[in-house]
Structure 1
Amino acid sequence: MPNQPPAPAASSGSLKDWCRLLFVLLSFLALLPLIGVLSIILVGPLKPKFDLQSGEVQYLNIAADNITGTAAASITLTIRLVFIADNPNKMEMKYGESRFAVLYNDIPLGNGSIPGFFQGGHSAKQVVATIFVDGMRLLQDDATGLINSSLNDQVYFQVLVDVNATTRVKNLYSPGVRVSVECDIMIRPREQTLTSKPCEDV
């Protein structure tokens, strides 16, 4: 009686191929989160956004000074500004020291800073900065403009924000990104109030 022919090996080989393919697919899916983390670390994070939410004038004094015969004016100012920092990344962000400066007609008057801080992924955080101007003296056209603006109860300033940030995953840090924005503010000396416009990247 003739022997039965062996079962074809094709089905066994096909099953092994499917198992290998399934293993590769599952391995790739397991590595996807790691690939995403590495891409953020190597390429760099998205820039966080800073915008001015509100401001408060704590002290303001603008005085004319024509003793030398040249138009001059001095300004002493303390303002408290509340910014919103928005982290668009999934990962936690680490910020370095944030620096703030106030200018009049592009002339630096004073500055302030806050220490570094951490911010969770996809979150918004209030950042409060106090900026001081201590008896800054302006001359000629700038002094005249400042005095006239004060008399008209509308003095315009620029606020510059400079921040360095990086994302953190456990003990791994991405390349840093720099955030620089400019915010226009207007102060009414009589009422000691402050209004602002949306900040813009610079």
Structure 2
Amino acid sequence: MSSDPWGRVDETGTVYVRTAEGEKVVGSWQAGTPEEALAYFERKYEGLVVEIGLLEKRVKTTDLSAKDAQTAIEHIRHQVDEHHVVGDLAALSARLDKLVESVDSRREERKAQKAKQADEARSAKEALVTEAEELAQSEQWRSAGERLRALVDTWKGLPRLDRKSDDELWHRFSHARSAFSKRRKAHFAQLDAQREDAR
């Protein structure tokens, strides 16, 4: 019979892990000494420790999506719950709980960031629409025309909003542009007509 702080092997070769809820069967070991049995299941535990460490690092330093992080956490938690390893399972569970918290808080941060970006894009587009509507009334045919073209380029560089808002704003924006074009056309047609008359 062999034991360590986290597990033991009985005379039948059954391996146990010690947990707060008492001992749980890890598996059985027939090939070799009880020490080898414990060493084997302790290595499997170390494997989980490494896996959790890597996941903690990925969550902190990469843009791993919350969904993928959640899947990876559940995969490891399943292995911890199946307890086919010898070691401090409660410590692993605690680390996984902490990971879930940090994934959740990153998800909230991202949500807030997205909302902020959407607000900024909406304000920017509303400002463009307002300016376009003012320019639509202008008699400065050349400079207003150039400015309207520049506004279109600015619009194209902004992120899209939700479809409904984006469509509504774009409709007002393009309506202002076509109103300006109509007025400009009418103005120059009138000039041409006056020239004809003068001739």
Common fold: TM-score over 0.5: no
TM-score (norm 1): 0.28
Higher Cα radius of gyration: 2
Q: Which has the higher strand share?
A: 1
Q: Which of structures 1 and 2 has the larger relative contact order (alpha carbons within 8 angstroms, sep 6+)?
A: 1
